[in-house]
Amino acid sequence: MAIVSISEAARLTGKTRATIHRHINTGKLSKTKNDTGSIGIDTSELIRVYNIKIDTSDTCIDTVKIEQRDTDELNTLKIRLEVLEAENHHLKDHVDSLKQVMLMLEHREQKQEKSSSWLSRLFNK
């Protein structure tokens, strides 16, 4: 089981910190040192001494709901990204085709200016 701090043990049991310390000093409740060297109480001790029930099912259900919501949101964002990328590709193609049409029109105008007939050259000047 997990090791909790004295304050967390008091919150879980509904007792005061002073009561928890008193029960540790009288030997009713045993303390444990965690990896960092700080003193804590194993939750199995809290269950043994105070007969409390630690409910982790709500936490698990909430976690599953959050993960499901995040997964749904992620899928929605992936679909939206695909649609926007396709639209972006389409718009780039459209811009390229418009550029090509403009170049063709400019080329046509230049060609018409160069190939004017000898009569038009004669009368326009």
Reported as a single tens digit per residue, the pLDDT across 9-23 is: 888 888 899 999 999
Q: Is residue 109 part of a domain?
A: yes
Q: Is residue 96 part of a domain?
A: yes
Give the structural domain span for 42: 3-50
| Other CB atoms within 10 A of residue 42 CB | 18
What domain count does the chain have? Answer: 2
81 shares a domain with 120: yes
Q: Read off φ and ψ for residue 76, nearest 5 degrees.
A: -60, -45
119 shares a domain with 69: yes
For the CA atoms of the chain, what is the radius of gyration?
A: 39
Rounded alpha-carbon distances, angstroms, from residue 70 to 61, 67, 76, 109: 14, 5, 10, 58
Q: Is residue 55 part of a domain?
A: no
Give the pLDDT confidence of 96-121 residue by residue, as tens digits: 999 999 999 988 877 766 666 666 66
72 shares a domain with 119: yes
Give the pLDDT confidence of 27-81 residue by residue, as tens digits: 999 888 877 888 888 888 888 888 876 665 555 555 656 667 778 888 889 999 9
pTM as predicted? 0.42
Q: Is residue 29 part of a domain?
A: yes
67 shares a domain with 45: no
35 shares a domain with 12: yes
Q: Is residue 57 part of a domain?
A: no
